[in-house]
Amino acid sequence: MLRNILAGQQEGDGLRLALIQPEIPQNVGAALRLCACLGVGVDLVGPFGFVLSDRRLRRAGMDYIELADTRRYSVWTAFAAATPARKLLLTTAGDRSLYGFAFRADDVVMVGSESAGAPECAHTAAAARLRLPMRAGARSFNVALAAALALGEALRQTGGLPDDGEERA
């Protein structure tokens, strides 16, 4: 179902999204669809809280899943060893806003699991820990929505937004 790029291959080495230990298949499906539409690669880092062939993942991702440049890693150490790019972590514990951060075209934006956030190894490996501004009293964004906001800003900054074919005045 998911097209796999074997670790070490060079396809899609631009901006990537890494979902670290995701638990909810609908969020993974939404993230895969997002990344397919934006032309951003996706790294799925286990262990996973569901079976990757889950029908809820397919329903949320629809036919876009096959368009996503997806790499699967069973554990963090495999992902970390295969991914030399700068890793950026979205976290409510971030020390700076993503809107004040200078993204590069080959960054890897990481999000943690829905219930526990990112494991300590992701915090340690992160070159920057970024937060999304939100109103007082709110705990966190949904991981797929957080990824959309971060990827949109990263692509805007680096000139990587897809061309929609519309002529500009």
Q: What is the pLDDT of residue 3?
A: 43
> What are the structural domains of the chain?
16-132+141-158 (3.40.1280.10)
Q: Which residue has the higher pLDDT, 43 or 49?
A: 43
Query: Which residues, including other chains, have CB under 8 Å from residue 44's CB and lie 6 or more apart?
Result: 2, 18, 19, 22, 28, 52, 70, 71, 72, 73
Asked if the model's pLDDT at residue 32 lies above 50, the reply is yes
CA distance 103 to 37: 20
Helix 25-38 and helix 143-158, axial crossing angle in degrees, nearest 10: 20
Q: What is the pLDDT of residue 9?
A: 37
What is the band of 6 on the pLDDT scale with cuts at 50, 70, 90?
Answer: very low
Asked if the model's pLDDT at residue 91 lies above 60, the reply is yes
Q: Which residue has the higher pLDDT, 66 or 13?
A: 66
Spatial contact of 20 and 122, defined as CB atoms under 8 Å apart: yes
DSSP 17: E
